[in-house]
Amino acid sequence: MRTRFAGVALALALFVPPAFAQAQLITEKKFFTLPQYTTQGGKSIKNVRVGYETYGKLNSSGDNEAAGYWDAIIGPGRAIDTDKYFVVSADTLANLNVKSPTVGTTGPATLNPDTGKPYGSSFPVITMGDSVRVHKALVDSLGVKKLVAAAGASGGSIQAMEWAAQYPEFVERVIHVIGPGLDIHPYVIGLLDLWMMPIKMDPNWKGGDYFGGPEPNEGVAQALKTVTLTALHFGWAEKVHGYKWAAEGKNPADAMNNLFAIEDSLYKTGQARAGATDAAHFVWMAKANQLYNLEKQQAQIKAKVLFLPSKTDMVFPPELSRRWAEKLRAQGNYVELYEIDGTSGHLDGLFSIAKVGEQIKAFLTK
Amino acid sequence: MRTRFAGVALALALFVPPAFAQAQLITEKKFFTLPQYTTQGGKSIKNVRVGYETYGKLNSSGDNEAAGYWDAIIGPGRAIDTDKYFVVSADTLANLNVKSPTVGTTGPATLNPDTGKPYGSSFPVITMGDSVRVHKALVDSLGVKKLVAAAGASGGSIQAMEWAAQYPEFVERVIHVIGPGLDIHPYVIGLLDLWMMPIKMDPNWKGGDYFGGPEPNEGVAQALKTVTLTALHFGWAEKVHGYKWAAEGKNPADAMNNLFAIEDSLYKTGQARAGATDAAHFVWMAKANQLYNLEKQQAQIKAKVLFLPSKTDMVFPPELSRRWAEKLRAQGNYVELYEIDGTSGHLDGLFSIAKVGEQIKAFLTK
């Protein structure tokens, strides 16, 4: 049975490794534009544009299947079954990968129609709630009348919960994968500050007004390195890198510039990703994450909620999900919680998502 | 009973908050110089100098009691009883706080006697084992014939274990507090790389050859901020900072430069400490920590070992201590392990050390 207008809105991870970002190229990207949008902070932005993908159209050839972070659980017959559900996946505002042609996202790098120049530091503060409000206009435009579930990992889990808080009658379920619960913990506010710091230290940063001149690419590479290490875990480092040197014959004990493999590899991965990433978008997005706090909106949430934290997550440890699961249960929400096994920390919400496919599938019928 | 020549060598924490560093001023500092020292890597350094303090002399007035990170456990009648033991506490090579007059430490900021200029990038790579070899010469010069225990927190715990590996007949016990065990885990090699990164991003860094010009103070402040956050824990952030804004009336949602209290406070603490810290010493010391690996020397260690990890430590989680405790037990070492309770992560090895005072006291007679 197809339920084309009872969609699943997917709000995917914010800071993701390149292999996953590239996989997105396989699907056909569309773009949605709002002529005018007013942020939660009361600032007006013209021509707000986000990219999106849909899966699960009446297409029997199967060539429109999902490909992305969650390939393992989205597709015909999979946990999020595109034979059954119409799935929408949309870019956030100020998406990191703005330099990729497949990403539609309004942010500091966008040309301000009033000046013809990039916004830079004049771009307003945005929240994850702002992205969700734009996405609501998008799914309305597609004729969707109700969401079977809002689902996402990390930054996507935040958007999924924002959906439930802002549109309680519209959202039946939330699938909150490697998420913070209903707020960003103060420790993670500090961690996000560390993530931004290398960009702000880059002499090319200029407070976000670098457009037209040299860009803070070194800061972006170092910022992405920082995100990746803190999003991973001891088990991953042991399995993937161990005590290997970065280059044969270059013992790290012999010279200050001789590195271990883990240092070198994380930096090079950061460098490779930096090409598609805009520095200001990174900083605006980190700020949006810091501002996430639904504590006062908790009572509005009516959705059934599935928490799927990763056992070894050091960004949003399972304890946070357990804490918020308890609070939602106490106010009468239907809540399930399963921990994802793995050694990749936060990123097991992407790498190991197949392990909880059955739980997701069952939850969609609860 | 005094055992003046059966000393306890204290090797204290490497990256510590300012309150603790300042407390050291209370005790009288002495200095020890070696005319020539050859590093484990085979490089020669002239006039190697380290600062040190001793406690527990024949002084009945009690004014020579220990004051420092471990004030709570060192002193007359305390866990490390200065009525009973002669205690030596010495600075490492390339100590961070080289700009403090109470710290004696040879490192990149030292004048090279051959050139009359600071070593800068020409200073050789050093290891934690090098500091211990210099300390051995120091305690020999004091007439100490045997160590009742080598004890230390964090970087100090590493030195304590190096003592046991390099001088197995000389060291009866190791007290390894918030330590890594017998090696630096690959994940922490990556973490140390993150700690150094802000210094290396500072345009004043110049590969370590900034002496005589503007110094990379902003990098040092950001590096110290990074260390402090990663050495703490979610529980600490919740208790100390919560969701407070850095400045009243400046809502972080209103402007990109309006910060949360945790961001602002960690940065200001970093700035305050940066004045006493040399950037190159920070980088050389981080490298020395990355290189710590006694896996191949494990069999040489004969000492009884007391592991005291902190329950909430995210730098050296208790799992690492448990793992190495098991391996040492398996080769016949006497081993005890207790976890320190607290919400301050790695830093509970300093803040909460009094909680394991009884265990330390008892272990010294085992």
Closest residue, chain B, to A262 (C-alpha): B190
Domain range list for chain B: 3-186+293-363, 189-281
Q: Which has more pLDDT, A11 or A291?
A: A291
Q: How far apart are CA A15 and CA A199, in angstroms?
A: 15
Q: Please indicate whether, in this complex, the C-beta atoms of A252 and B287 are within 8 angstroms of each other.
A: yes
Q: What angle do CA B207, A18, A277 make, to 5 degrees?
A: 65
From A73-82, B176-185, B197-206, B279-288, the region with the lowest mean pLDDT:
A73-82
Looking at residue A275, its pLDDT comes to: 92
Q: Which amino acid, B170?
A: F
Please state, rounded to an integer, the average pLDDT across all residues of chain B: 90
Please report residues of B whose CB lies closer than 8 A to that of A183. Answer: 243
Contact A285, A208 (CB under 8 A): no
Q: Is the pLDDT of residue A23 over 60?
A: no
Q: Which amino acid, B19?
A: A
Share of chain B above pLDDT 70, in %: 89
pTM of the model: 0.92
Looking at residue A24, its pLDDT comes to: 35
Three-state secondary-structure class, residue A46? strand
Looking at residue B68, its pLDDT comes to: 61
What is the domain class of B189-281 according to CATH?
mainly alpha
List, in sequence order, every residue forming a beta bridge with A33; answer none if it has no partner.
Answer: A49
Topology classification of domain B3-186+293-363: Rossmann fold (3.40.50)
Mean predicted confidence (pLDDT) in A51-78: 67
Mean predicted confidence (pLDDT) in B294-307: 98
Q: Is the pLDDT of residue A151 over 60?
A: yes
Looking at residue B59, its pLDDT comes to: 36
Q: Kindly indicate the confidence band of residue A101, based on its pLDDT and cuts at 50, 70 and 90.
A: confident
From A265-274, B69-78, B285-294, the region with the lowest mean pLDDT:
B69-78
Express each pLDDT in A200-238 by its tens digit: 999 999 999 999 999 999 999 999 999 999 999 999 999
Interface residue of A119, A185, A201 to substitute, partner B, most B CBs within 10 Å: A201
Express each pLDDT in B35-93 by its tens digit: 999 999 999 999 999 999 888 753 333 333 444 678 889 989 999 998 888 889 999 99
Share of chain A above pLDDT 70, in %: 89
DSSP H helical ranges for chain B: 18-23, 128-141, 155-166, 186-201, 217-231, 234-240, 261-274, 279-290, 318-330, 348-351, 357-363
Q: Kindly indicate the confidence band of residue B3, based on its pLDDT and cuts at 50, 70 and 90.
A: very low
Task: For chain B, say whether A327 makes contact (Cβ under 8 Å).
Answer: no
Alpha-carbon Rg for chain B, nearest whole angstrom, is 20
Q: Is the pLDDT of residue B247 over 70?
A: yes
DSSP, res B299: G
Mean predicted confidence (pLDDT) in B229-243: 95
Please report residues of A whose CB lies closer than 8 A to that of B40. Answer: 253
Mean predicted confidence (pLDDT) in B234-248: 96
Q: Is the pLDDT of residue B257 over 70?
A: yes
Three-state secondary-structure class, residue A365? coil
Task: For chain A, say whether B190 makes contact (Cβ under 8 Å).
Answer: yes
Q: Which has more pLDDT, B64 or A319?
A: A319
Q: How far apart are CA A325 and CA A231, in angstroms?
A: 22
From A19-33, A116-130, B82-96, the region with the lowest mean pLDDT:
A19-33
Q: Is the pLDDT of residue B120 over 90?
A: yes
Q: Which has more pLDDT, B69 or A57?
A: B69
Looking at residue A37, its pLDDT comes to: 97
Q: Which amino acid, B222?
A: Q
* CA-wise closest residue to B345 among B263, B231, B266: B231
Q: Please indicate whether, in this complex, the C-beta atoms of B186 and A242 are within 8 angstroms of each other.
A: yes
Looking at residue A29, its pLDDT comes to: 85
Q: How far apart are CA B88 and CA B132, in angstroms?
A: 12
Mean predicted confidence (pLDDT) in A314-332: 98
Q: Kindly indicate the confidence band of residue A50, based on its pLDDT and cuts at 50, 70 and 90.
A: very high
Q: Which CATH superfamily is domain A3-184+294-363 in?
A: Alpha/Beta hydrolase fold, catalytic domain (3.40.50.1820)
Closest-CA distance, B75 to chain A, in angstroms, reads 35
Looking at residue A60, its pLDDT comes to: 39
Please report residues of B whose CB lies closer than 8 A to that of A185. Answer: 234, 237-238
Interface residue of B197, B200, B293 to substitute, partner A, most A CBs within 10 Å: B197
Express each pLDDT in B16-32 by its tens digit: 333 333 333 345 789 99
Looking at residue A7, its pLDDT comes to: 56
Kindly report each contact of residues A116-119 with a partner whose C-beta sits within 8 Å and lies 24 or more positions away, as own/partner: A117/A211, A117/A212, A118/A211, A118/A212
Q: Is the pLDDT of residue B294 over 90?
A: yes
Three-state secondary-structure class, residue B88? strand
- Is the ipTM higher than 0.85? The answer is yes
Tokens of B174: 């190791």
The beta-strand segments (E) located in chain A are 3-10, 30-38, 44-55, 74-75, 80-81, 85-90, 111-112, 117-118, 146-153, 173-177, 304-308, 335-337
Looking at residue B82, its pLDDT comes to: 87
Q: Which has more pLDDT, A26 or B59?
A: A26
**Helix or strand run (H / E) with residue B9:** strand B3-10
Q: Is the pLDDT of residue B8 over 70?
A: no
Q: Is the pLDDT of residue B308 over 60?
A: yes
Contact A27, A66 (CB under 8 A): yes
* CA-wise closest residue to A305 among A292, A290, A291, A322: A322
Helix, strand, coil percentages (3-state) for chain A, rounded to 5, are 40, 20, 40
The beta-strand segments (E) located in B11-145 are 30-38, 44-55, 74-75, 80-81, 85-90, 111-112, 117-118
CA dihedral of A197, B345, B252, B220, whole degrees rounded to 10? -30
Q: Which has more pLDDT, A283 or B100?
A: A283
Please state, rounded to an integer, the average pLDDT across all residues of chain A: 90
Reported as half-sphere exposure (CB side, CA atoms, 13 A), residue B98 has a value of 22
Mean predicted confidence (pLDDT) in B96-122: 94
* CA-wise closest residue to B190 among A248, A237, A317: A237
**Helix or strand run (H / E) with residue B306:** strand B304-308
Closest-CA distance, B44 to chain A, in angstroms, reads 14
Three-state secondary-structure class, residue B223? helix
Q: Which amino acid, A157?
A: S
Mean predicted confidence (pLDDT) in B183-200: 98
Q: Which residues contact A205 (CB under 8 A, 6 or more apart)?
A: A199, A216, A219, A279
Mean predicted confidence (pLDDT) in B349-365: 95
**Helix or strand run (H / E) with residue B153:** strand B146-153
Looking at residue B127, its pLDDT comes to: 97
Looking at residue B25, its pLDDT comes to: 32
Q: Is the pLDDT of residue A122 over 90?
A: yes
Looking at residue B57, its pLDDT comes to: 56
